[in-house]
Every structure is written in C-alpha cells, then in structure tokens.
Amino acid sequence: MALQCRLSGTTIQSLKMATTIPISSSSSRLIFRPLPKTLNLALFSRHTLPKAPPFTLLVRALSGAAVVAAPATEIIDNKVLKPQWKAAIDFKWIRDNKEAVAINIKNRNSNAHLELVLELYDKMLNLQKEVERLRSERNTVANKMKGKLEPSERQKFIEEGKNLKEELATLEEDLINLRDELQFEAQCIPNMTHPDVPVGGEDNSKLRNMVGNRREFDFPVKDHLQIGKELDLFDFDAAAEVSGSKFYYLKNEAVMLELALVNWTLTEVMKRGFTPLTTPEIVRSSVVEKCGFQPRGENTQVYSIEDSDQCLIGTAEIPVGGIHMDSILAESSLPLKYVAFSHCFRTEAGAAGTATRGLYRVHQFSKVEMFILCRPEDSDNYHEELIKIEEDLFSSLGLHYKTIDMATGDLGAPAYRKFDVEAWMPGLERYGEISSASNCTDYQSRRLGIRYRPSELPTTNSKKGKASSAPTKFVHTLNATACAVPRMLVCLLENFQQEDGSVIIPNPLRPFMGGIERISAKSK
C-alpha cells in the first residue's frame, strides 16, 4: 500500500525526536539501517481519503513533496535550526493559483497544509516589509549622525539607533525561523498533475496499451521459485542466513541471464542516443530528499548509514539526478540523456504476502535506468519517447504486457504523470509491474538547483562571443526503468518454461549468453 507522510503537528516547533525502528530483526545487525533518530512522522494511506472530481489544471510544476518529509534539520530546545537545503519554491505562483493547487492536493490524497503555507507566506511578506522599514529607519538615523550635532541631540540618535538595532535583530531572527517553517510546510505540496491523468486511486488508472497475449500452456505451470529450484538457479535459504530475508544468491545460468539482460538493455538504449553511466551507490541523504524520496521514518524504503548523512540508493535516478546539481546548463546542451546501471537497495517496509515472494520484491537488485534533462516545452514528448523505448524492449523479448496511465492517487510526489508497464507472470497468475516512466517536470530541478540559460536570438546589436544574458529556467527531469533485473527474471523463467522443465532464452539475449539458448536441468 502506498503511503504518504508529513511532519506531525501544526508547526515544526512541535516535532520531537523518535526512537529507532529497525527494518527487520535481521537488519538491525547490519551497518545499514534507518537512522537511529528520526523526525516523528504521521503516516496515512492514500486510499483512505475521499476522491475528488476532475478539474481543468494549469500546467505548472511546484517544488515540494507529498510523500517525503521536509529537509533534514536539527531540533534543539524546540528551536528550528537552519535546514540543510532549500528548494526554489514559487510561492507567488502557489498563492495566485491556490484553487488549482488545493484540488491537486486533494486529488493526490496529500496531507499538505496549503492554507498554512499561504498564511505563513503572507506573514513572511509582512515581516519582510517591517524588517526593510526598520533597516531604512536605521540608515536614516545613521545618516543624521554624520553631521554636526548638539551632544543631547546626538545622544538621542544613539539611543534611537540602539533601539532600532535591538528590534531589528529580533525581527530578523523571527524572519529566518518563519522562512524555515514555510519551507518545511511548502515542501509537503506535491507536483502538479497532467490534465489527462485519471483522478482517483489505483482502480481508476487507465489502460493505454496492451501488447501480445497470454501464453496458453498444455502442461502444469510452475512459478519462478519452483523453476529456479529445479534448475539450480538461486538460493534464498543461504542468503537468508547470510543477510536476512528478501536476499538471494543467483547461480549458474541465472547469473549469465542477469548480465545478458543488463548488457543487451544498455546496448539497445545507447543506440537511441543515451550516454551510459555507472553511478555511486551511496549518496548524501539531502540528495535523496531533493529527488523526492523519504530517507527516514518507520516506512522509509531507504537504507541509511548509521552515524552518517549518507544512504544507499534505491534507484539510479537519485545519483543521476544529482550529477548536474547546482549548475546552469547551456540550452544547446539539452536534452541530456543518460542510461545508468546500478545496484539498488530498498527496505520494502510493509511488504508481505505471497504476492511479494521470491524475486518479485527483494532488498537488493540490479537495474538499468533512463534519465533525461530537457527544456520544459519538450518534456511531454520525451515522456512518450521513454515509454516507447520500454515497450520496444519488452516486445523484443516476446512478453505480454500492458501500459497504464496511473491515477492521481498512485503518483509519487515528484511525478507530473507516470506510466507503468505490467507484464503477465503465469506462475504468479497475475500481472506484475516491471517498469515505470515518470515526467517530474521541474519538481526535482527546483530542489537540485538545475537550471539552463536559454540561447538569445541573434540581434543587430549582439556582440560576437558574448554570453547570453537571458534569465535562467529550470530544466525538466524524466526517469524510466529500462530493466529491473529480478522482475525480468521472473517474467522470462515463467513465460518461457517448457514441459520438460527447461527454459528457452529469448533470441535477443542469446548473443550475450555465451551461446546458451536453453537452461536445462543439471545432470546428476
């Protein structure tokens, strides 16, 4: 079940430090586990709030998070210290479009407090005006003291200046605290939503495309666990002893199949103009937050490193998103297209049941991820390009799948629109998600500080070699899964199993399998 969270209490000052909640009995023995102290978070299900009617939405992206906590900070004696980072939130746009923002918050089942954000914003503006007025008065008094004055008059100005200085210091501190609180509250606001996205929960998601048909078997179908056991492809029992539940060893041809999937996927995506990357798999928690993920709390999906500000990545989207952090790109360099291979680590907190058994939901896995940075006007087209690449890859492997336009209640905070691909898994007797493609517009770039400078149109007065003076804009970011290896293994083993117990390797992967065309039982 998808969960959202926000900081509990009406203000940041009400936060208290919570005790450690380990991910599992085994994970508490590892170095990687949720931070020993974390902000107290209030959790609720997306599926418990009422649905809202459709509406005409302004196409605009906000910076903030519905499913992420506010940026890391310290709380000492109920006093909020300066956050580690701040997002470039367009508060004026939020205020000018508050009706659309309010409906969007409701449709996405977010618990963001829009009215509180607007109230804090107005207070901040009024306090800024008062601070500026006092600064002006202080300067006026200082200028008056430059001339020749009677001692009594000079003493009067000295007292007046002293009082202004003290009052100004108090108000400036109040302004800093108010800005910090405004940042925390505003970052609970999710991205805006594409007007074509269906409103509601998972059941309201809309089918975009259906490819192929379910394979008809004339023999009893096995699931991937039974196939793997008979063909000696993986070992969950030994991994559970070594690392804990939801870990695994791949063995024999399964190892070759993982490497074949990764190499084939990278090769195919690179043909489409993507630059290959391998990434750091440990990142700062602030980068995790800026990308829209929650690195702390009981239901976090992120492994944090104890006594550190670092986390293990849950997806290559995070380190790839950070590669251009705090930079200004040239418009001519866009789009930037990356395809990254990495190992991913997820706590899978709250996941249980037969639907998550075996390789379907695990703590560590290999994944190939696509990531694009582009101009705002191009992001919808690149979103379609990403889903087309995914569909081409899965069609080449001969999978039966469907593409779904996910409803508002199933969108993560960064996503403006998200397409999921679900493939038929005959052993599990259901469709299972194997990839997704999200357009995050400027949600992540406003937090990561990634801008571009538009190229100026040539004019008769332009000087050769002069840099553009056009105002910078935030790029749009998109991400998509090209291959999540464990779930692809589930699909391939279950869909291409044979009556004799063997598994046929799809043609595109055979050149990467060292000549192996079929996985058969080992001779005893």
Q: Is 433 annotated as a binding residue?
A: yes
Q: Is 318 annotated as a binding residue?
A: no
Question: Is the Cβ–Cβ distance between 161 and 47 less than 8 Å?
Answer: no
Question: Does the annotation count 502 as an active-site position?
Answer: no
Q: How far apart are CA 457 and CA 469, in angstroms?
A: 11
Q: Is 99 annotated as a binding residue?
A: no
Q: Who's near 365: CB < 8 A, 6+ residues apart?
A: 343, 344, 484, 485, 486
Number of H helices, E strands in the chain: 12, 23
Question: Is the Cβ–Cβ distance between 436 and 481 less than 8 Å?
Answer: yes
End-to-end alpha carbon distance in the chain: 44
Q: Is 41 left (phi over 0), alpha (psi -120 to 50) or beta?
A: beta
Question: Does the annotation count 346 as an active-site position?
Answer: yes
Q: Is 473 left (phi over 0), alpha (psi -120 to 50) or beta?
A: beta
User: DSSP of 41-84, one letter per residue?
Assistant: EEEEEGGGSPP--------------SSSPPPP--EETTEEPPPS
Q: How far is CA 259 from CA 117, 239, 432, 480, in A?
A: 49, 20, 22, 20
Return the sign of the alpha-carbon dihedral for residues 65, 67, 68, 69.
Answer: positive
Question: Does the annotation count 172 as an active-site position?
Answer: no
Cβ-count burial of 303 within 10 angstroms (0-12 exposed, 13-18 middle, 19+ buried)?
buried
Phi and psi at 129, nearest 5°, equal -65, -40
As given in the structure block, the two tokens for residue 409 are: 């209640």
As given in the structure block, the two tokens for residue 109 are: 């089942």
Q: DSSP state, 305?
A: B
Question: Does the annotation count 433 as an active-site position?
Answer: yes
Q: Is 436 annotated as a binding residue?
A: yes
Q: Which of 436, 438, 445, 446 is catalytic?
A: 436
Q: Is 364 annotated as a binding residue?
A: yes
Question: Does the annotation count 487 as an active-site position?
Answer: yes
Q: Which of 346, 417, 446, 447 is catalytic?
A: 346
Question: Is the Cβ–Cβ distance between 177 and 387 less than 8 Å?
Answer: no
Token look-up 């889903």 returns: 387
Q: Which of 46, 179, 296, 361 is catalytic?
A: 361
Which residues, in sequence order, are bridge partners of residue 474? 451
Q: Who's near 515: CB < 8 A, 6+ residues apart?
A: none
H/E/C letters for each residue in 143-169?
HHCCCCCCHHHHHHHHHHHHHHHHHHH
Q: Which of 33, 417, 451, 487 is catalytic?
A: 487
Q: Centre a 10 Å sphere on the Cβ of residue 192 and count the other Cβ atoms it contains.
A: 22
Determine the Cα angle at 12 with ends 322 and 304, to 5°: 40
Q: Is 362 annotated as a binding residue?
A: yes
Q: How far apart are CA 1 and CA 4, in angstroms?
A: 10
Q: How far apart are CA 129 and CA 135, in angstroms?
A: 10
Report helix angle 98-107 to 114-144, nearest 10: 140
Show which residues are catalytic: 346, 361, 433, 436, 487
Per the annotation, binding residues for L-serine are 315, 346, 369, 479
Per the annotation, binding residues are 315, 346-348, 362-365, 369, 433-436, 479
